Chains A and B, each alone.
Chain A
């Protein structure tokens, strides 16, 4: 067992981990170590070869790899230590990590930890799509890695299920590489990805979008041969008699992202079911003192720019953390009517706090209200509120709010 001692250990070298690590160094932490299971740095970014990253942050529309390179260079220049090809197997409550790498097993004790593991994709089995189990069924992100990192084409005749950004981007990518993309199938009445992607990934290439439909069967013996697509009623149930068969040799699934928190759960960290990530305070600290969380493992972000802002805070706070400090009980922040989730879920000291939240449904216009018991802290008129667009508001928290122990955010039409 190789024993190591660091000031800040960061789990994950994607955009969140790298931004947190850089911020930790800039805040004065001496030994900052980033651990990543891949042989490359940047997490998911190197396979996201399209542009649109870093617009707010840099003023330029960068591709994923270019954005990653910006942070990797910065991390190296700041003296951040990096351990690649290493898997964190366990995080213990005393900020102790067990790590497996080609060099052997490591036992790392850290002054503070930043969790930045990112997300996994929803698979066929989350939706239990019936049929046979042929090859050629991929989640969109896995297909993206095959095509953009390993130069492997995933199919010649492709159906995409799910109109989120990853599905739309991959529809275009495969079309550009010569596949026939038969169509994108979406259960909801509208595409869930950005209008920009609907235009530049589907309309530009005449790729049809079938809304209000889903894949109800996958068929083929060794390789996918066809999928069955059915129309859905307003309750999202397949309507009998509306099914049709689409021949294809590849089905991409873009069914959503799930924050990856096996380590967090293993460490006994309190989780929020509505985000899929840890409960955190306004400092992004989890229920385990000295363990912070940021990026997509905390909640799924819309842009890498917003994710980087959050991750820098987590890194700076991790560097400043003193393990003797115990957290006050503070005020719980709840998602009220019209709100799917709010981060942070806990505020334990007075000051200005930025809340990140998502609405349950699309409303235009909308009113956002933050109240503490019977006191209204903020009432804001929004031009629109829609689930794929994270809303951020800033509130001032005083002693009165803290002692009320409760805050609720709601959205109304």
Chain B
């Protein structure tokens, strides 16, 4: 019984922290993007692929947390 409580609690905390880190990272990246595009609007088309690659990298780490959380919750 204690194992199950611990597993569910761990799953919730893990996903919460992973989401926190991912959201912070993406928020910082997008805020810098808006600053730089406001300063130089013609850079947008050159920077757009980098934005998507950055989002993918940051989301990957948050999704590692999701995977662990699912493993724990279905234990």
A, B in one complex: no
